[in-house]
């Protein structure tokens, strides 16, 4: 089965859309989407410099438009799964049949402007944390009042929060951890973005949706989303919630993905997939950056499309921690156990005493994502429950 992935902010490069303007109708399409987004997409994708396209308000609609423009030249009817990283989820929602392209570009424009405005409210930022023990890294972030905004896999967590807290963290990081400050406007995917989430939700409430026509993975928990309205609700919530790209990549493996195409500007997500899915059974990957890459992408589609795309779609739900503290799983709840909705899965014990962790859906307990006595933060995924529909 084939997956098509749409990248997020930080993957853009000056002039990356230039070769796509040579395709028939591309300029007309971008001018139309520019009206929806409120920015000049042709200028941003061809003549703007790195500083101009680093602006969140401009970058987000540009990335969504670029992914959609390239996807129009692929035989998407043979694609079994789509996913996007951060703002790339809007493009993925279009490719899954949930949103019209104009709606996604419009929402990207609103999302970008409102997140830029939220960044201006107080000095915040982000830093990539490379290496280290995952549990120790998460515990250290919590102790500094920081948030794990992105968990990209391959030993990479992106921390976000107040600049003063990031400075203190960088001065005393966990063992075997390297801290790299990121050139971004603020603390994306954290509670600092609450005003942007509210503004995006007001606009998204009026969007007409349809249910996905292919598997659509969510950044929230790596789970396939079954309904159009739920997709939009998750897109709004994702503005303040961590991006769990690690769980999305794990879902690619669980679902037996054999081929991956990353839409332009491609390379970042392909690299993460390569680092996580190695050895025998690793998917074949094509990075689609210019129209010259289209023959290779179409060939990949032809070779990896098949009946697997039409099998009942597995779903996954992740139960998250209700509080900060240490996890105590319930006894006799090993991986592979059937659980029912409302069943007690364990407790998180912190300063306010033990707080119950319960299952919100019935299904198979496929994986514990945190272990006994591990320090956990509010909203941190604890256990994965799966099934099929």
**Of the candidates 302, 270, 274, the residue with the CA atom closest to the CA atom of residue 286:** 270
Q: Which of 189, 304, 321, 347 is catalytic?
A: 189
CB of 1 closer than 8 Å to CB of 81: yes
Q: How far apart are CA 15 and CA 149, in angstroms?
A: 28
**Please, which contacts does 305-310 make with residues 24 or more away whose CB atoms are closer than 8 Å?**
305/1, 305/2, 305/75, 305/78, 305/79, 305/80, 306/1, 308/1, 308/80, 308/256, 309/1, 309/2, 309/78, 309/79, 309/80, 309/81, 309/214, 309/215, 310/80
Q: Per DSSP, which regions of 185-263 are E strands?
A: 215-216, 259-262
Which residue reads 């989303």 in tokens? 225
The helix (H) or strand (E) run that includes residue 275 is helix 268-276
Contact indicator for 267, 289 with CB cutoff of 8 Å? yes
- In degrees, to the nearest 5, what angle opens at C-alpha 31 toward C-alphas 30 and 33? 60
- First and final CA of the chain: distance in angstroms? 18
Active-site option among 86, 197, 218, 321: 86
Active-site residue, 86 included: yes
189 catalytically annotated: yes
**Integer Rg of the chain from CA:** 20
How far apart (Å, rounded) are the C-alpha atoms in residues 261 and 222?
Answer: 18
Q: What DSSP designation does 116 have?
A: H
Residue partners of 181: CB distance under 8 A and separation at least 6? 125, 126, 127, 166, 170
Place of tokens 């500083």: 51
Query: Alpha-carbon torsion 185, 50, 237, 144, what sign?
Result: negative
**165: preceding bond cis by omega (within 30 degrees):** no
How far apart CA 3 and CA 71 sit, in angstroms, is 12
Number of other residues whose CB lies within 10 A of the CB of residue 382: 21
Q: Which residues are catalytic?
A: 86, 189
């Amino acid at each position: 089965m084939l997956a098509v992935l749409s990248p997020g902010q930080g993957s853009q490069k000056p002039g990356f859309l230039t070769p796509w303007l040579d395709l028939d109708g591309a300029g007309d399409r971008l001018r139309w989407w520019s009206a929806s987004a409120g920015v000049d997409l042709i200028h941003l994708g061809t003549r703007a410099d790195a500083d101009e396209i680093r602006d969140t308000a401009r970058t987000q609609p540009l990335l969504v438009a670029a992914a959609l423009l390239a996807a129009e030249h692929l035989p998407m009817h043979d694609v079994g799964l789509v996913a996007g990283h951060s703002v790339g989820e809007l493009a993925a929602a279009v490719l899954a049949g949930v949103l019209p392209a104009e709606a996604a570009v419009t929402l990207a424009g609103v999302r970008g402007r409102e997140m830029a405005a939220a960044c201006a409210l107080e000095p915040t930022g982000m830093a990539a944390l490379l290496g280290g023990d995952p549990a120790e890294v998460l515990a250290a972030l919590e102790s500094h009042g920081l948030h794990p905004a992105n968990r990209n896999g391959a030993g990479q967590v992106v921390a976000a929060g107040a600049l003063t807290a990031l400075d203190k963290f960088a001065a005393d990081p966990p063992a075997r951890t390297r801290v790299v400050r990121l050139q971004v406007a603020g603390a994306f995917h954290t509670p600092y973005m609450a005003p942007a989430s509210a503004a995006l939700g007001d606009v998204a409430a009026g969007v007409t949706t349809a249910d996905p026509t292919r598997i659509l993975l969510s950044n929230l928990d790596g789970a396939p989303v079954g309904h159009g309205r739920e997709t939009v609700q998750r897109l709004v919530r994702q503005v303040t919630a961590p991006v769990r790209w690690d769980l999305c990549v794990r879902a690619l493996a669980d679902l037996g993905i054999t081929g991956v195409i990353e839409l332009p500007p491609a390379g970042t997500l392909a690299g993460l997939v390569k680092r996580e899915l190695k050895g025998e059974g690793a998917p074949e990957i094509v990075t689609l950056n210019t129209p010259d890459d289209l023959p290779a992408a179409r060939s990949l589609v032809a070779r990896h499309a098949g009946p697997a795309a039409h099998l009942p779609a597995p779903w996954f739900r992740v139960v998250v921690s209700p509080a900060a503290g240490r996890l105590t799983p319930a006894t006799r709840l090993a991986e592979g156990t059937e659980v029912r909705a409302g069943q007690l899965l364990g407790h998180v014990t912190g300063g306010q005493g033990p707080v119950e962790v319960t299952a919100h859906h019935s299904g198979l307990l496929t994986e514990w994502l945190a272990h006994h006595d591990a320090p956990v933060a509010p909203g941190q995924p604890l256990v994965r429950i799966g099934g099929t529909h």
